[in-house]
Chain A
């Protein structure tokens, strides 16, 4: 292991740099020093254990809102949609209590259970995150329309609590939805700066759910890592363009209340301080895109690929000027460009938190199966996502290069305090 790697690890553990430097000094430089340092790190690890909440890369699980929504996007996502198999409401309550407990522990970088002394039992925690930092893990839970009513059945006596907004999204033009990537009674969005940490979280939560809920579909996703992009600019999607430039400001409580968090009077009280999550699994035909000339690519987005600036402007965050005309009288930003249609009149804003995905090869075509796991949070799908997507699906030039293969809508529950559980407002 190189020295550089050590420093990264050390920082993520929240270990004071001074002691580390002192140790290196004492130990000397070079291979031997590093070896001695290695055992030193081990002992520091045990000292810092139990104090994980003060570490830099821990996002608190508890709070008024669930984490993983306004949290700065981590490097990776593991998203899972589940079908509930139990028919008892009490099982659901038990499940969410156990999930809350386990999620709070994992968010602190801790295993979900003590090691048992009985070797005839499997370990409680699956173990692959042993010794890893919390990596800013967030776990966000949501409930889908089918949890309330499925096949006309009021499955858990929750029908009266179903928000008007929580219904299947309408069919949009050009939708090519596949059952295997669509819907779900529940969802888990686990985001972390380490894929193994994110996967560990979902794996253990699914294990806890055995007998009560099963996986319906799952999709991991990635962004450029923060290590790779020291400036932490807007990430680029697999078409090479910056994606996520126009997002409401997560640091502004006012904007979040206006665009993301469900407010009093919006619907049933149980969802207050929660949010709606739209998931779209969008396949991107990257081979086709790659043989499209730059001019055409930029016309498709209405932005310059290099800077990310909208047409007619210089910088990425410059304001979109949809009235700007070319000398020949044509719109500078084409009417069918992605940026223009997304923008509309500017009144609808959604908090996008998407990730790219690549699932190996599309067996039918031999092309990459790659694309965008679109994730957006909003206060009202009918007033925000749906009108935007209607515009996009009807005439977005980008539609030539993409296909919506999966879709789901979830109500992300409000947060909870230590001692409470996610879903408490809905189930009790």
Chain B
């Protein structure tokens, strides 16, 4: 049922896009800004589609966080460790939307030192307990609060207005997240599960690219091909580090492998940063 709905919406979005291109030609003398608005409106099919994707990921995130926090509260260290990285990927994929709520993001995802010690909670606080102290004892309250915050996030996400701007900026932002915190191994500094977050950010960016790609192909086929090639390269590098259905821990990567990943992200993000041309008239 869900799948059918998606297909319908995709078709709708493409027809809107192509339909609008003609009307742009008719009003060629309009100022750039006006053209942009018209064009932005025509991306609404895409933005609706992305909204569904992001909400879907947040719903998965709620479920996964439920399992994770339950394990923490039950004192099941091994299970909590096993669920930690895979829970977070849903959040990392939908980060452009999740981060809209400036008050909730730090509560859920702040790393040590990002916020005053007294306010520090969320995933990374529990991560520290699990990996540094090998315990859940004393962390039940953080699990409790984390669940509340994630539920609140789910409720608030419905109110987000997804604009083309959010998509265009979000795609590159996801990769910038990778460049500035995942590549350095600072995201999951106790569990070293950074590659899960890394891959999830790239997947989130890829989703946006795939949604905008039909419009992009119309504008610049070469750019579309180049971005696709660069995504393929990043995914194939990530695949090299897959192990037991997940990823190697980050500290097992050699310096050369980390550099290779970092430079592959740069090579992808540069052409991806041109994706904003979809807002221009044909």
Interface residues of A (CB under 8 A from B): 85, 117-118, 120-122, 207, 210-211, 214
Interface residues of B (CB under 8 A from A): 32, 36, 164-165, 168-169, 226, 230, 263, 266-268, 270-271, 273-274, 276-277, 279-280
7 residue pairs bridging A and B, Cβ less than 8 Å apart = A85-B263, A120-B36, A120-B165, A120-B277, A122-B273, A210-B270, A210-B271
Q: Considering the complex, give the chain A residue whose CB is closest to the CB of B276.
A: A120
Give the residues in chain B near A120, CB-CB below 8 Å.
36, 164-165, 168-169, 276-277, 279
* Alpha-carbon gap, A117 to B169, bound state (A): 17
> CB distance A214 to B279 under 8 Å?
no
Give the residues in chain B near A211, CB-CB below 8 Å.
226, 230, 267-268, 270-271
Q: Which 5 A-B pairs have the closest CB atoms?
A: A120-B276, A210-B270, A211-B267, A121-B276, A214-B263
Instruction: Tell me the smallest distance from the CB of A94 to a CB of chain B, in Å.
Output: 11
Give the residues in chain A near B267, CB-CB below 8 Å.
85, 210-211, 214
> CB distance A118 to B266 under 8 Å?
no
A85, A121, A207, A210: the one contacting B277 at CB < 8 Å is A121
* Alpha-carbon gap, A164 to B4, bound state (A): 65
* Alpha-carbon gap, A120 to B216, bound state (A): 14
B169, B268, B271, B280: the one contacting A118 at CB < 8 Å is B280
Instruction: Tell me the smallest distance from the CB of A146 to a CB of chain B, in Å.
Output: 16
* Alpha-carbon gap, A80 to B267, bound state (A): 18
> CB distance A121 to B273 under 8 Å?
yes
The A interface is mostly helix, strand or loop, or mixed, namely loop
B165, B169, B274: most-surrounded residue (chain A CB, <10 A): B274
Q: Considering the complex, give the chain A residue whose CB is closest to the CB of B271.
A: A211
Instruction: Tell me the smallest distance from the CB of A175 to a CB of chain B, in Å.
Output: 23
For the A-B complex with A120-B36, A120-B277 known, give 15 more contacts whose Cβ atoms are closer than 8 Å. Answer: A117-B32, A118-B36, A118-B276, A118-B277, A118-B279, A118-B280, A120-B164, A121-B276, A122-B273, A210-B267, A210-B271, A211-B226, A211-B230, A211-B267, A214-B267
Give the residues in chain A near B270, CB-CB below 8 Å.
207, 210-211
Instruction: Tell me the smallest distance from the CB of B186 to a CB of chain A, in Å.
Output: 20
Instruction: Tell me the smallest distance from the CB of A231 to a CB of chain B, in Å.
Output: 45
Instruction: Tell me the smallest distance from the CB of B205 to a CB of chain A, in Å.
Output: 15
Give the residues in chain B near A85, CB-CB below 8 Å.
263, 267
Instruction: Tell me the smallest distance from the CB of B165 to a CB of chain A, in Å.
Output: 7
Give the residues in chain A near B274, CB-CB below 8 Å.
121-122
* Alpha-carbon gap, A11 to B259, bound state (A): 44
Instruction: Tell me the smallest distance from the CB of A102 to a CB of chain B, in Å.
Output: 14
Q: Considering the complex, give the chain B residue whose CB is closest to the CB of A206.
A: B266
Q: Considering the complex, give the chain B residue whose CB is closest to the CB of A214.
A: B263
Q: Considering the complex, give the chain A residue whose CB is closest to the CB of B266.
A: A210
Q: Considering the complex, give the chain A residue whose CB is closest to the CB of B32.
A: A117
Instruction: Tell me the smallest distance from the CB of B38 to a CB of chain A, in Å.
Output: 14
Q: Considering the complex, give the chain A residue whose CB is closest to the CB of B267.
A: A211
Give the residues in chain A near B279, CB-CB below 8 Å.
118, 120
Instruction: Tell me the smallest distance from the CB of A213 to a CB of chain B, in Å.
Output: 10
Give the residues in chain A near B226, CB-CB below 8 Å.
211
* Alpha-carbon gap, A211 to B279, bound state (A): 24
Instruction: Tell me the smallest distance from the CB of A178 to a CB of chain B, in Å.
Output: 13
Instruction: Tell me the smallest distance from the CB of B168 to a CB of chain A, in Å.
Output: 5
Instruction: Tell me the smallest distance from the CB of B116 to a CB of chain A, in Å.
Output: 31
* Alpha-carbon gap, A121 to B280, bound state (A): 10
* Alpha-carbon gap, A360 to B212, bound state (A): 45
